[in-house]
Amino acid sequence: MITGDLKATYAADERVLNNGYKQAFVLAMAALCALMPFIANDYIILVASQMGIMLIAVVGVNVVIGYTGLLSLGHAAFMAIGAYSVPILHRLMDNIGLPDGIMPFIAIPGAIAISAIVGIIVGLPSLRVKGLYLAVATLSANFIIIFLIELEALAPWTGGLVGLNTPDPNILGWVFDTQREMFALIAALAFVTILAIQNLFRTRVGRAFIAIRERDYSAEILGISLFRYKLMSFAISAACCRLAGALFAYFYARILPEQFELALSLQLVAALIVGGMGRTMGPVFGVMIIVMVPEVLKFTFGMVAGGAAEVAQLRAPVQEIVFGLLIIFFLMFEPLGINQLVDRGIRALNRWPFARG
Amino acid sequence: MLEVRDVHLSFGGIKALQGVSFAAKPGEITGVIGPNGAGKTSLFNAISGFYQPDRGQVFFGGNDISHLSPDRRAEMGIARTFQNIALFRGMTVLDNIKLGGHTRLRTGLWSALSYFGPARREELELRREIEEKVIDFLEIDHIRKYPITILPYGLQKRVELGRALAMQPKVLLLDEPVAGMNREETADMARFILDVQEQFGITVLLVEHDMHMVMDICSHIVVLNFGQQIASGTPAEVSGDPGVIEAYLGAAA
């Protein structure tokens, strides 16, 4: 029996931040993000910005893999579309002479729509195939998009193998040309994304996704159109990744096709598995770990070898091994991820000192 | 209300249904009985839309629905439960039942993303309605926050009935609602089914092997054997029918 869970109204019972720990955590994170641009050093800002971008993408991956239960390995492609559409759309808008200050307002939502449409197309196989077969189908989408970007014929627009220089966002005259400013933008958008997706799962739309994951024929019998909701899930997920991609393009000075290859898709999925699939906070915990791993390795390698070249080249393979071990560890011992560990901790705290577990 | 007219259904060489015809009277409980493999569940699947009949039609409220998908039929007001409980196991009781309300809600993607405003109003209204009409009615308020996996079998059956009721259906198909239950649980479930019919006026179609219950609560019974409809009528008529006794009921010892 759950004790002490007393509410006077249905509204109070439906709240998301339904205990003090959650409220405190969200407030602390918000305060931290608000203060960081003023107090943190450049290195921390860089790592935190990477986390923010990854986070938005993983939140998107969570919608399709974690909540709807459709295994997709093509999400790096959506990020690529997001990233590439920024310089391309900017160039188009330059050509028609739009002022710089309003370009991000068109580049971001305009191309979220593009990516959502591509997401729907990539999601089409999900209507016929499930599980591993779907993973392979979406995987091919990843290769096709990268192939198109690297294609010689499209190189005048995409830059081909050598990539593209990307503009700094200019929002109503304020140019975000430092990483500090970009971090503030990324953090704000990450909060908005998580909030919006969390809201989704408080309503019939999100519940329909979960129902499809749990038992698709049972969902149909309740009047949920699999066609509509599977594609909607892909579209939402692609749109999040596209937003992450756009921020990626704005954040870095240059984008390259190789940044969006399969390794990135796998990294997104790894973050999700480690953090906890199908849970709001899963991506948050997962991204913290996945972005920290390379940084910690960099630090340890620096300490141990002091920058010797032959040791430094081992870092990339070691990083892959650590990712692999993390995934195996969590799949075997805690398939619900860090989120579950945290939940268990909170439950134990609630009952302490009267009972354990 | 619900009418099945000359439905034929076959899988390869197996003829699952051969010319089944009956009409479920509005607001009453109609039973479908027959030995294992008689085609009862196939009939339910044809009515709820998982199978398209090879021949014949299914009518609902006077409209031919034979070619509609399951979700369209659900929207029109056909709810069902499954023989092997088909709840969403990873979710709580409350979320399962809320899913029953899916077709009655209107929240779209954009209002869902922003939540506050129309989506919130609608969700809270759904919550209130479910609490007052379904959870109270089925006496499952103590387990509303529990995940399905930890519930005993009998309660899971009851939650599945609750999910179907949350759809506020016009017709409710129950596939073996008391299979595997003991006497007491069976009596409880029978009472709930009668209450559903009396309080909500829902037309019920019931597949069941528990003859005591079927004879007690159904006003009309259809008997299937090897896909063929061998009898239909009131409980008294059916239980006296020599064909039914031979195929299914067995002679009184």
Which residue in the set B48, B114, B131 is minimally distant from A199, CB to CB?
A: B114
Q: Considering the domain boundaries, does residue A259 fall inside one? A: yes
CA distances from A93 to A89, A149, A167, A176 (A): 6, 20, 12, 18
Q: Considering the domain boundaries, does residue A149 fall inside one? A: yes
Q: Report the pLDDT value the prediction gives residue A1, as an integer from 0 to 100.
A: 47
Q: Amino acid letter at B142?
A: H
DSSP letter assigned to residue A293: H
Contact A53, A83 (CB under 8 A): no
Which residues are CB-contacts of A97 (< 8 A; sequence separation ≥ 6)? none
From the list A265, A252, A243, A272, the residue with the least C-alpha distance to A68 is: A272
- What tokens were used for B221? 């019974």
From the list A323, A286, A316, the residue with the least C-alpha distance to A298 is: A316
Which residue in the set B89, B109, B111 is minimally distant from A232, CB to CB?
A: B109
Q: What is the mean pLDDT of chain A?
A: 87
Domain count, chain A: 1
Is B86–A215 a contact, with Cβ atoms under 8 angstroms apart?
Answer: yes
Dist. CA A4–CA B179, nearest whole Å: 36
CA distances from A262 to A175, A257, A321, A325 (A): 33, 11, 16, 18
Is B79–A221 a contact, with Cβ atoms under 8 angstroms apart?
Answer: yes
Q: Considering the domain boundaries, does residue A8 fall inside one? A: no
Classify B26 as helix, strand or coil.
coil
Report which of residues B10 and A126 the model is more confident about: B10
Read off the pLDDT of residues B164-201 as tens digits, 9 standing for 90 and up: 999 999 999 999 999 989 999 999 999 999 999 999 99
Q: Report the pLDDT value the prediction gives residue B252, as an integer from 0 to 100.
A: 60
Q: Considering the domain boundaries, does residue A221 fall inside one? A: yes
Q: What percent of chain B has pLDDT over 70?
A: 99
Which residues are CB-contacts of B133 (< 8 A; sequence separation ≥ 6)? B165
Residue B124 touches partner A, C-beta closer than 8 Å: yes
Dist. CA A90–CA A169, nearest whole Å: 10
Dist. CA A239–CA A257, nearest whole Å: 19
Q: What is the mean pLDDT of chain B?
A: 92
Rg (CA), chain A: 21
DSSP letter assigned to residue B220: E
Q: What percent of chain B has pLDDT over 90?
A: 80
Q: Report the pLDDT value the prediction gives residue B156, as an integer from 0 to 100.
A: 94
The reply to whether omega before A353 is within 30° of 0 (cis) is: yes
Q: Considering the domain boundaries, does residue A13 fall inside one? A: no
Dist. CA A253–CA A257, nearest whole Å: 14
How many Cα atoms are found within 13 Å in the side-chain-facing hemisphere of A177?
5
Please state, as a whole number, how many other Cβ atoms lie within 10 Å of the Cβ of residue B33.
26
The angle formed by the CA atoms of residues B68, B71 and B75, to the nearest 5 degrees, is: 95
Classify A167 as helix, strand or coil.
coil
From the list B223, B161, B225, the residue with the least C-alpha distance to B195 is: B161
Q: Report the pLDDT value the prediction gives residue A122, as an integer from 0 to 100.
A: 86
Q: Best mutation site among B65, B71, B96 for testing chain A: the one with the most A CBs within 10 Å? A: B71
Q: A60 contacts in B (CB within 8 Å)?
A: none
**H or E element at residue B57:** strand B55-60
Q: A279 contacts in B (CB within 8 Å)?
A: none
Dist. CA A88–CA A165, nearest whole Å: 10
Q: Amino acid letter at A50?
A: Q
| Residue pairs between chains A and B whose CB atoms are closer than 8 Å | 114
Q: Considering the domain boundaries, does residue A14 fall inside one? A: no
**What domains lie within chain B, and their CATH numbers?**
1-77+169-252 (3.40.50.300), 89-166 (no CATH)
Note the residue count of chain A: 357
Categorize the per-residue pLDDT at A4 as very low, low, confident or very high, splitting at 50, 70 and 90.
low
Question: Tell me, what CATH number does A332's domain have?
Answer: 1.10.3470
Q: Is the dihedral of CA B224, B226, B230, B235 positive or negative?
A: negative
Q: Considering the domain boundaries, does residue A97 fall inside one? A: yes
Is residue A2's pLDDT more than 60? Answer: no
Q: At what angle do helices A42-61 and A282-305 cross, to 10 degrees?
A: 140
Is A210–B91 a contact, with Cβ atoms under 8 angstroms apart?
Answer: yes
Could you identify the residue written with the tokens 């919130």? B120
Q: Which domain holds residue A280?
A: 19-30+41-351
Q: What ipTM score was computed for the predicted complex, to two decimals?
A: 0.91
How many Cα atoms are found within 13 Å in the side-chain-facing hemisphere of A203?
25
Classify B13 as helix, strand or coil.
coil
Q: Considering the domain boundaries, does residue A145 fall inside one? A: yes
Residue A199 touches partner B, C-beta closer than 8 Å: yes
Q: Report the pLDDT value the prediction gives residue A307, as an integer from 0 to 100.
A: 64
Alpha helices by DSSP H, chain B: 40-48, 70-76, 93-100, 109-114, 118-129, 136-138, 153-166, 183-200, 211-217, 235-240, 242-244
Q: Report the pLDDT value the prediction gives residue A151, as an integer from 0 to 100.
A: 86
- What tokens were used for A338? 């860090």
Per-residue pLDDT averaged across A259-283, rounded? 91
